[in-house]
Amino acid sequence: MNAQTYMNFHGILLYRKNFKERDMLVKFLTAEAGKKMFFIRGARKRGFKMMPDILPFTYGLYSGKISRDNLSYIYSALDTDHYENISQDIYLNAYATYIMSLIDVAFPDSTPILGWFNKLFEALKLINNGIDAAIITNIIEIQLLNVFGVQPEFRGCTICGRNDLPMDYSEAYGGLICAKHYHMDPHRLHLDAKTVFYLRKFSVIDIQKINNINVNENTKRNLRNVLDKLYQDTVGINLKSKHFLDQINDLKL
Ligand SMILES: [Zn+2]
């Protein structure tokens, strides 16, 4: 890519923040150029004409100037839409925001990640359409572990490769261990069979092929706990959006 390229691009808005008195910085994940920060002059002025095109939870086709190293610019919005249900529901809002901030920290700016653009687009669409946001979030979290360099082994026992025995997760071995090898890790996580089943399934599931998924509340809690543990112990990021999500979920109980 040249230092600056005038082009149409597909974008999913990740977040926005106020800049100076009247302007805004808006970060998009673009299909063509990866994550990019855009300077939107006059975005906070009354009657700004692109206002609906840069609302939170907007996606679409834009035209602008993409800079390789500096801020980029949007000249016009060609065709945009909103994840309407997400923007109106505080829970869906919190899940979607967390997913987007995870993707934001997982990848460097300006690196095309078309596969993850599609994945995010699909994840938000599913959440917007009423598919369980907690589960969609778990799938994204599990599949991002590789990106964070964790690469847990979910295919079979990390020690012997078997996958026909009961399995548990071992942080020490960085993956599943089979019942024959439980004695190798006294600190294995003692996960129940259902939780292991979904961890394995979610690690390989194609999010674009999901049309419904039902997991009981107990297993959902277990999945949340194990993913929190894996993220804490191996990824070690601390996201405001995750704290917020935890807080509103605590209030719900
Ligand atoms: Zn084994």
Q: Are 128 and 214 members of one domain?
A: yes
- Band (253; pLDDT cuts 50, 70, 90): low
The helix or strand, by DSSP H or E, that contains position 48, with its residue range, turns out to be none
Each residue of 79-121: pLDDT tens digit? 999 999 999 999 999 999 999 999 999 999 999 999 999 999 9
Residue 140: what pLDDT? Answer: 98
- Alpha carbon 69 to chain centroid distance? 24
Residue 87 forms part of a structural domain: no
Centre of ligand 1 to C-alpha 32, Å, is 43
- Band (251; pLDDT cuts 50, 70, 90): confident
- Band (211; pLDDT cuts 50, 70, 90): confident
Each residue of 128-143: pLDDT tens digit? 999 999 999 999 999 9
Structural domains in the chain (count): 2
Q: Are 141 and 17 members of one domain?
A: no
Residues written for the chain: 253
Q: Are 138 and 216 members of one domain?
A: yes
Domain region containing 28: 4-82
Q: Are 76 and 137 members of one domain?
A: no
Centre of ligand 1 to C-alpha 9, Å, is 48
Q: Are 238 and 146 members of one domain?
A: yes
Residue 177: what pLDDT? Answer: 97
Residue 2: what pLDDT? Answer: 72
Could you give the maximum distance between any two Cα atoms of the chain, in Å?
Answer: 67
Residue 103 forms part of a structural domain: no
DSSP conformation letters of 68-111: SSS-BEEEEEEEEEE-HHHHH-HHHHHHHHHHHHHHHHHS-TT-
Q: Is 252 exposed, middle or buried (0-12, 13-18, 19+ CB in 10 A)?
A: exposed
Centre of ligand 1 to C-alpha 181, Å, is 5
Q: Are 115 and 51 members of one domain?
A: no
Domain boundary among 45, 64, 82: 82
Centre of ligand 1 to C-alpha 159, Å, is 5
Q: What is the CATH number of the domain that holds 189?
A: 1.20.1440.120
d(CA 218, CA 215): 8
Centre of ligand 1 to C-alpha 188, Å, is 13
Residue 92 forms part of a structural domain: no
Contacts of 12 (CB under 8 A, 6+ apart): 28, 29, 59, 100, 117, 120, 121, 124
Q: Are 78 and 116 members of one domain?
A: no
Amino acid 77 reads A
Centre of ligand 1 to C-alpha 184, Å, is 9
Residue 1: what pLDDT? Answer: 60
Contacts of 207 (CB under 8 A, 6+ apart): 119, 122, 123, 126, 136, 139, 140, 143
Centre of ligand 1 to C-alpha 205, Å, is 24
Q: Are 151 and 69 members of one domain?
A: no
What is the average pLDDT value for the chain, to the nearest integer?
96
Q: Are 114 and 230 members of one domain?
A: yes
Domain boundary among 82, 100, 117: 82
Q: What is the CATH number of the domain that holds 48?
A: 2.40.50.140
